[in-house]
Amino acid sequence: MAAARPCQAVVINPARPGCFLYYPQNEGVELPMEPHAAVPKRVVSKGLFDLGQGLLLEDLGQNLPWSCSTGTARLLLGPEHQRPDRETLVWNPVRCLDGLECHLTGKFLRDGPDERRRLRMVEFVPYEKLKAAVVPKYLLVRQHLVGLLGEPTLEKEPGDSLAGTFSRWDTEAYLVLWKVVSKRGLEHCVGQLWPKPLPGNYLEMMI
C-alpha cells in the first residue's frame, strides 16, 4: 500500500474537467493515494460538492456534468442497466450525495427540436432505504439531505395522506426535491436533482 501524504485541499483540475489536483502542505489531512481512496468522503462532499455544476460520483471521484450527452454519461458510469425510453438511462448502484448508494436515473432532454439530448435532471432512490416503510424512509433521507443542504426552503410534512409529502431545496443554481409519490396504488420515495435554469416542462416531470 502506498504511504499517505499530507494534503491541504483537493480541487477540480481546470485543464481536465472531472479530474482533481492535490495540493500538499506540511500539516493537514492525511490522504491515501490509492485510486478509489484518494478522495475521502468528507473532503469530496464538503469541499467539491456543487450541484450547480453536476453530480459528484463519489466512488469514482468524477463529476457527472449537467448538460452532458448520453455518450459522456456512459463513459463515466458505464453502460446503462435500463433504458425505458430514448430520454431515460438508469444506472445502479451509484454512490452520491455524501454517501447515499442509489438507483440513478438520468433524463436527457432536448432544449429545442433540433438540439441534441442533454442531461437536465437526475432522479435518485437510495438503496439502503428501499426496504424501510415509506415514512421512516422519507424522514431518514430528509435528515441526511438537511445535513448536506441545510433546512428545506419549502416542504409538506407527512399527514393522513402520504402522497404529496415533499421537501424542496431551491437555490439560484439548482433545485433538489425529495418526495413521496403514489404509483399503481403503492407509495414510494424518490428524489430529483435539477440544475438551473429549469426546462419549460419541469413541473410536469415533478408530478
Q: Inform me whether the pLDDT recorded for 40 exceeds 60.
A: no
Give the dihedral sign, CA 182/170/156/145.
positive
**pTM above threshold 0.85:** no
pLDDT band at residue 49, thresholds of 50, 70 and 90? low
Reported as a single tens digit per residue, the pLDDT across 149-202 is 999 999 998 776 777 899 999 999 999 999 998 877 788 899 999 999 988 777
SS3 23: strand
In the prediction, which pLDDT does 54 show? 94
Cα distances (Å, whole numbers) of residue 133 to 67, 76, 77, 189 = 35, 33, 30, 10
Reported as a single tens digit per residue, the pLDDT across 67-101 is 999 999 999 999 999 999 989 999 988 999 998 99
Cell numbers describing residue 6: 499530507
